[in-house]
């Protein structure tokens, strides 16, 4: 008898979704989506444990890799790509690795999912070392590419975790720590870009966001290390600077201009009472953590 993962089961609640009105079809999908946050809530302890392990490695020069195929791989690449502009870190710090390479972001590359060796090879190409962390992502937990990558990472000595939406999977057994939000069968059978994808996105958001908070790149709930790479982000940088320093708009804009548009530099200039060159030096010494660069006793003589 063929044993299917939960993600491949048929959902009796949506068995007639093709026969109902558009509004009722949307209601059926929405009802299923409501289950996702509850499933993620049940695995918060595992998410916290994974985050703490990852932060320790990032603090010590390690990197974080997300590995997956199809939707899972795309979600990993998406989360990784958003970290540098939001928190001002290197694009190497968090990396998304997807089967089939970046071409698979916009066109199907399903055959590459079955290549177990390719998962390990793609991590080898990234120069994986013991101090890195790897999260394998696969809704069913049985994707050979992702399993191969996680097995290789664990053999190197990396911290390994996985995000899967079906229990007792091969990927769960391969990883050191498993995060398993059970969202149940999809509204459309096997379409894991739906509830499984939403759960995965939520978990990745949590891990990367709290990791950046723990590394010191957030003050309160403000992204004090944001890279102002467009007009929206330049305006946000100005608002954050005004809120953090109590400067009016004119003074804050002048300070930001003196800092070359770099919010981090502007904050250190103001709080440590130094020029832009000294502020940059302090930030480098403090690994670009604004609060550390401006704490008493840290400043340059």
pLDDT tens digits, 238-276: 999 999 999 999 999 999 999 999 999 999 999 999 999
Confidence of residue 1 (pLDDT cuts 50, 70, 90): very low
Is residue 201 a contact partner of residue 236, using CB atoms and an 8 Å limit? no
Is residue 176 annotated as part of the catalytic site, yes or no? Answer: no
pLDDT tens digits, 47-61: 999 999 999 999 999
Higher pLDDT, residue 294 or 259: 259
Is residue 104 a contact partner of residue 98, using CB atoms and an 8 Å limit? yes
Q: Give the alpha-carbon dihedral of 3, 40, 132, 97, to 10 degrees.
A: 60
Which pLDDT value is given to residue 120?
96
C-alpha–C-alpha distance, residues 234 and 209, integer Å: 21
Confidence of residue 301 (pLDDT cuts 50, 70, 90): very low
Please state which of the ranges 102-116, 137-151, 279-293 shows the lowest mean pLDDT. 102-116
Phi and psi of 94, rounded to 5°? -125, 120
Is residue 285 annotated as part of the catalytic site, yes or no? Answer: no
Instruction: Tell me the mean pLDDT in the region 30-54.
Output: 98
Instruction: Tell me the mean pLDDT in the region 183-203.
Output: 96
Which pLDDT value is given to residue 107?
73
Active-site residue, from 113, 151, 186, 244: 113
Confidence of residue 2 (pLDDT cuts 50, 70, 90): low
Which pLDDT value is given to residue 25?
98
Active-site residue, from 8, 53, 56, 82: 82
Contacts of 70 (CB under 8 A, 6+ apart): 99, 104, 108, 109, 110, 113
Which pLDDT value is given to residue 141?
94
Please state which of the ranges 5-14, 37-46, 157-166, 258-267 shows the lowest mean pLDDT. 5-14
């Amino acid at each position: 008898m063929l044993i299917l993962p939960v993600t491949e089961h048929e959902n009796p609640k949506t068995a007639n979704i093709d026969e109902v009105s558009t509004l009722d079809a949307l209601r059926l999908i929405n009802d299923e989506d409501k289950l996702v946050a509850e499933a993620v809530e049940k695995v918060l302890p595992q998410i916290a444990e994974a985050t703490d392990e990852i932060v320790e490695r990032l603090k010590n020069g390690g990197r974080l890799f997300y590995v997956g195929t199809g939707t899972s791989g795309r979600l990993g690449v998406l989360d990784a790509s958003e970290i540098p502009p939001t928190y001002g870190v290197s694009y190497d710090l968090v990396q998304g690795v997807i089967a089939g390479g970046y071409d698979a972001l916009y066109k199907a590359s399903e055959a590459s999912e079955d290549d177990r060796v390719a998962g390990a090879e793609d991590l080898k190409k990234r120069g994986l070392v013991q101090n890195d962390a790897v999260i394998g992502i696969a809704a069913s937990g049985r994707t050979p590419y992702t399993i191969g990558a996680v097995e290789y990472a664990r053999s190197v000595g990396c911290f390994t975790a996985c995000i899967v939406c079906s229990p007792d999977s091969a990927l769960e057994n391969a990883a050191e720590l498993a995060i398993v939000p059970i969202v149940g069968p999809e509204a459309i059978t096997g379409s894991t870009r739906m509830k499984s994808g939403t759960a995965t996105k939520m978990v990745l958001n949590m891990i990367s966001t709290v990791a950046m908070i723990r590394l010191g790149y957030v003050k309160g709930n403000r992204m004090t290390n944001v890279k102002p790479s467009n007009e929206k982000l330049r305006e946000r940088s100005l608002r954050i600077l005004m809120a953090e320093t109590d400067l009016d708009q004119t003074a804050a804009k002048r300070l930001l201009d003196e800092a070359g548009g770099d919010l981090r530099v502007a904050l250190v200039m103001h709080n440590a009472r130094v020029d832009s060159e000294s502020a940059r030096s302090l930030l480098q010494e403090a690994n670009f953590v604004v609060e550390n660069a401006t704490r008493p006793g840290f400043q340059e003589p």
